[in-house]
Amino acid sequence: MVLKNLNDLNRLVQGGSRKKLVLAAAQDEHSLGAVIRAWKENIIEPILIGDKVGIQNICDSNNYDISGLVVIHEPNPEKSVELAVKMTSSKQADILMKGKIGSSSLLKCVLNKEWGLRTGHLLSHFALFEVETYHKVIAVTDVAMNIAPNLQEKIAIVNNSVQCLNRLGYVMPKVAVLGAVEMVNENMEATLHAALLSKMNQRDQIKNCIIDGPLAFDNAISLESAQHKGIRSEVAGDTDLLLMPDIEVGNVLYKSLVFFAKAKVAAIILGALVPIVLTSRSDSEQAKFDSILLAAAASR
Ligand code: COD
């Protein structure tokens, strides 16, 4: 079953056990607001690590009562992430969440060889978007972690995302591998990768999904546009997952969807010991809440 909107994530976490979520550098208004809402709705049991005064000030000005929560004082954001990652790797938390700290600082900690959250798999970013002009939720990867993935890394990124979509209830998600054009052009590496990924999928080297590419963005999301170009494809116009050529394209699409198209977004890191809620610092409280829902659904 596909997700029609991000609200559908609620259905997936209903009746499940409450997940322990540790929020690192918790002195962040939108992150705290989202965590407290998810706590009140019995989705998570939070642990807050960060600057206690900053956390309390946000709670006071929003009338949040956090007297029942574990709050660990660590004013240094890097150290608070280190503590949160160590708690997670020692199985004291099911979900890690980023508060007021840059993505790459948090990811470096997560990748720490001694106490990080590595599993031997590639870690990748996975985002879900609800856009008014598309008939269902669309997943996009990787817009925030892997900078310029090679073919092998793209295979791992697809596998991470497909596994997550399977867990969310998708049986054979349709994957569009994006390029600037829909024809293979030897001077455009993204189109070569796309053609290889499609063939590997046909030969069952990449399973549990239907992959087609290269597809330009319009062919991937609009059947009319694909038909206009004479493209025959099971994926065109009905894509569940868009695979980005690189982080620049991905990040610009992410921000364009949110700022121009007013899309709703939920995002996590996959492939680590636990799902990691990693939204942009400019994302809304709603986006952070939906990302917690996604992490809880993915960690079932
Ligand atoms: N999965 C698993 N292991 C990885 C991954 C990955 N995706 N990336 C790196 N590693 C391993 C490497 O194999 C190596 O052992 C170690 O981690 C360090 O690798 P480096 O030197 O390539 O990695 P770093 O620490 O310099 O950088 C890793 C980041 C994830 C921080 C880097 O790729 C990055 O900055 N990505 C973009 C993050 C960002 O700014 N996003 C914001 C957009 S909103």
pLDDT digits 0-9 by tens, 81-137:
999 999 999 999 999 999 999 999 999 999 999 999 999 999 999 999 999 999 999
Question: In residues, how long is the chain?
Answer: 300
pLDDT attached to residue 281: 80
For residue 230, which amino acid is it? Answer: G
pTM of the full predicted structure? Answer: 0.97
Say how far apart CA 120 and CA 214 lie, in whole Å: 29
In which band, very low, low, confident or very high, does the pLDDT at 300 lie, cut at 50, 70 and 90?
A: low
DSSP 234: S
- Residues in contact with ligand 1 by the CB-under-6-Å rule are 103-104, 107-108, 111, 122-123, 144-147, 251, 280
Say how far apart CA 179 and CA 194 lie, in whole Å: 8
Cα four-point dihedral sign 95, 100, 101, 102? positive
Expressed in angstroms and rounded, the spacing between residue 10 Cα and the centre of ligand 1 is 31
Expressed in angstroms and rounded, the spacing between residue 156 Cα and the centre of ligand 1 is 15
SS3 category, 137: coil
CA-to-CA dists, residue 196 to 13, 34, 148, 159, 190, angstroms = 36, 41, 17, 15, 10
Say how far apart CA 96 and CA 227 lie, in whole Å: 43
In which band, very low, low, confident or very high, does the pLDDT at 254 lie, cut at 50, 70 and 90?
A: very high
Higher pLDDT, 281 or 18: 18
CA-to-CA dists, residue 242 to 11, 62, 129, 281, angstroms = 24, 38, 11, 23
Contact 141/211 with Cβ under 8 angstroms?
no
Residue of 111, 112, 114, 158 best suited for mutating to test ligand 1, as the one with most atoms within 8 Å of CB: 111
Considering the chain, what is the average pLDDT of its residues? Answer: 96
Say how far apart CA 255 and CA 81 lie, in whole Å: 25
SS3 category, 120: coil
112 contacts: CB under 8 Å, gap ≥ 6: 82, 85
CA-to-CA dists, residue 263 to 179, 254, 296, angstroms = 22, 9, 21
Domains and CATH numbers, the chain: 8-119+272-298 (3.40.50.10950), 124-259 (3.40.718.10)
Expressed in angstroms and rounded, the spacing between residue 89 Cα and the centre of ligand 1 is 18
- State which ligand 1 atom lies nearest to the alpha carbon of 121: 2
For the chain, first and last CA: distance in Å?
17
**133 φ, ψ (degrees, to nearest 5):** -90, 10
Give the H or E element holding residue 140.
strand 138-141
Expressed in angstroms and rounded, the spacing between residue 113 Cα and the centre of ligand 1 is 12
Please list the helix, strand and coil fractions of the chain in percent, rounded to the nearest 5, in that order: 40, 20, 40
- CA-closest residue to ligand 1 atom 14: 111
Expressed in angstroms and rounded, the spacing between residue 111 Cα and the centre of ligand 1 is 7
